[in-house]
Amino acid sequence: MRARLLVFAAVTLIAGLVLAIAVKWGAVKEGSKDGAPAAGPGATYIGGQACASCHEVEHSRWMGSHHDLAMQVADEGTVLGEFKNTTFAHGGVTSTFYRKDENFYVRTDGPDGELHDYQITYTFGAEPLQQYVIEVPGGRYQALGIAWDSRPKQEGGQRWFHLYPEERIPHDDPLHWTGRNQNWNYMCAACHSTNLEKNYDLEHDTYETTWSDIDVSCESCHGPGSEHVKWAKSKDRDGDSKDEMRDGLLVDLKPQDTNVWKLDPQKGTGDAGDALGVSCGTRDVRPLPLAAAEH
């Protein structure tokens, strides 16, 4: 119980810091949906692939990065865990990871406490661990509480482990993988995908969540890129990046020497330079939705 309280305290502190930074640097703008920054005039999301033809070096460096691997469709090339009828026991529940045809499955306890078979839909991350996301009714996706340690075996990896190793998480606990605190749409998606729209239907208690890129792509930090492409194709561009739209982009990510976090020992909180505070504004610096009905 103490460990759980510490987790909640840490999450609350981080959320407060995130909100404070967002307000200070104007990352959250009036009129935006879901706390996301308002796009520039007429700007729309076009997908990261549209950026690759002009920014080949940046795109090649991004490929295979943590941002690129933030979320992927579960298949032979993305799943790192061992699905060879491998078993893992925790809290009185023995889960089995196996394959059927080309798909990956886990047999584990569901919302009723009984064992059921679930297909792995997406992978979450790659190093030093990989989590797995499962589709359930109502347009919901849930993050499994058992993860794969992807580190080399000599470093203690290549094994299944539970995210709450010292606790038994029963099926009716909000922290159970089928509970609201492990819901991908509500808790995880906005930071792992680009242009995320939760599309929660309060009346029917369902989601129709969408994104433009499944992973953390260019527009997660730069903002919607349609106006930038328009600028890049224009004949009268002068290369000046000091205009309000920063060559059509919502956020200017040019590096500055002052981009460091400074901890205030009296307050116990951090502060950052202008560029850091704004550069994460379209993705990381975003307050969590406060609507109690959104589960």
pLDDT digits (tens, 9 = 90+) for 257-268: 555 656 667 766
Q: Is 243 exposed, middle or buried (0-12, 13-18, 19+ CB in 10 A)?
A: exposed
Residue bearing the bigger pLDDT, 266 or 84: 84
Q: Average pLDDT in the 207-220 region?
A: 92
Model confidence at 14, pLDDT cuts 50, 70, 90, reads: very low
Please give the mean pLDDT across all residues of the chain: 78
**Smallest Cα–Cα separation from 103: which of 127, 79, 87, 125?**
79
Using an 8 Å Cβ cutoff, are 95 and 86 in contact? no
CA distance 45 to 39: 9
Instruction: Tell me what pLDDT residue 190 has.
Output: 87
Stated pTM of the model:
0.73
Minimum mean pLDDT range among 19-28, 57-66, 138-147, 205-214: 19-28
Residue bearing the bigger pLDDT, 19 or 126: 126
Using an 8 Å Cβ cutoff, are 110 and 170 in contact? no
Share of the chain above pLDDT 70, in %: 67
Model confidence at 236, pLDDT cuts 50, 70, 90, reads: low
Model confidence at 33, pLDDT cuts 50, 70, 90, reads: very low
